[in-house]
A and B are shown apart, each in its own frame.
Chain A
């Protein structure tokens, strides 16, 4: 049985300790309440795999705590509602956008540049940028405590990217939520995050943006 005591760093909202996944790691990191931390690293270094393991989508060793509660103490679906992973490419399984939302009351549509009518749109006609922004709105409907954002502005123009950055920042402030932001741009990392992680073969290292 793994030790499940509350970690010593008491105010960290998400804490990852000795995480091993797909022969990578061990990774250690922690994110405080309300904080946004960037994660950068060369492609293939395992950024997406790390996010998947934190969201408990892949088998892994090591521990992840949310607010002092170990991942395996919470049913997996509930964990993923609180630790939301936004993948690079979002998937939609029904015809209409709105059918993927639990209800029609989505406060993030307007700030992301959509009208209410967007919920009636056909998924097949969405551009990749629209999909990316709507996927964020959909993920926020679960009111997650931690956002794991995998290059969330990869297919967005500058205006939409700024809108998305603002929505994430406001959501964090209003809900005391944290974010781990994978970005390939140092400028964006410096803009959105207050602390910066670098993924190296030796593990996660804190450093400059």
Chain B
């Protein structure tokens, strides 16, 4: 494997700097957020490199679980932060986090035990990247789906209540909206699977090939990951939407939009 020198990275960074300069020159107003994001990316990835180096060296279950927990909580925060109208109180954070816990964690552990079958099963070199890919994808799916659900429920309040007035249950009254939200949560992974290999070479597979793995081995891993991501996202989105749409109504089948907070400015 060819290692990259600081000079190689600096050369690539120069491209981003030129882009920022172009943005400043053309008054696009993008340069600030572009540079901040670039800086964040470099710092965050360097730090995680150091952390992974340490965690890989220890191979203790405790450290791996701790790392996994931090990743889960961060993903939960991201899901919450991406909601225009989030559920008030503990629910806003707990819902997405809980849904990711039962989907991403369960699927990752299952894969580690049965499909990868490494010794020990929690070996960080496999467990952490696998969980990271699962969380990253379920996170986007759940965030999109929840945002769609709460936004649509807010906009279509009169329509949902009309259905309740005609004697529909809370499940019937929100059914179409929940299906729409499910679709938007799953769209990403379905598109990714459909485009894989033709339009795009998935990042993990590309990485393995760059690192010198035989293409067929990389492909097999990528297929496994795609299966896991699809299942994890699907289960996670389903759970999150089920809980959230329950939360939008009370036990008397009344639409309770007061459980949602006001949109952020």
Contact = CB atoms under 8 A, between A and B. Distances in A.
Interface of A: 55-59, 72, 75-78, 80-81, 84-85, 87, 89-93, 138-139, 142
B256 to A, nearest CB: 8
A77 B162 contact: no
A87 B164 CA distance: 12
24 contacts: A57-B165, A57-B254, A58-B254, A59-B250, A59-B256, A72-B252, A75-B253, A76-B164, A77-B167, A77-B168, A77-B169, A77-B253, A78-B167, A80-B166, A81-B166, A85-B165, A87-B158, A87-B162, A87-B165, A90-B162, A91-B161, A93-B162, A93-B163, A93-B176
A5 B159 CA distance: 35
Interface residues of B, number: 18
Most A Cβ at <10 Å: residue of B163, B165, B166, B168: B165
A120 to B, nearest CB: 20
Top 6 closest pairs, chain A to chain B, by CB? A81-B167, A91-B162, A76-B253, A76-B252, A91-B159, A77-B167
Nearest to A141: B166
Contacts of B252: 56, 72, 76
Contacts of A80: 164-167
- Overall SS of chain A's interface: loop
Scoring A58, A81, A90, A93 by chain B CB atoms within 10 A of each residue's CB, the highest score goes to: A93
Contacts of B162: 87, 90-93
Q: Which among B161, B162, B256 has the greatest number of chain A C-beta atoms within 10 A? A: B162
Residue of B164, B252, B256 with most chain A CB atoms under a 10 A cut-off: B252
Given A56-B254, A59-B250, A76-B254, A142 B163 contact: no
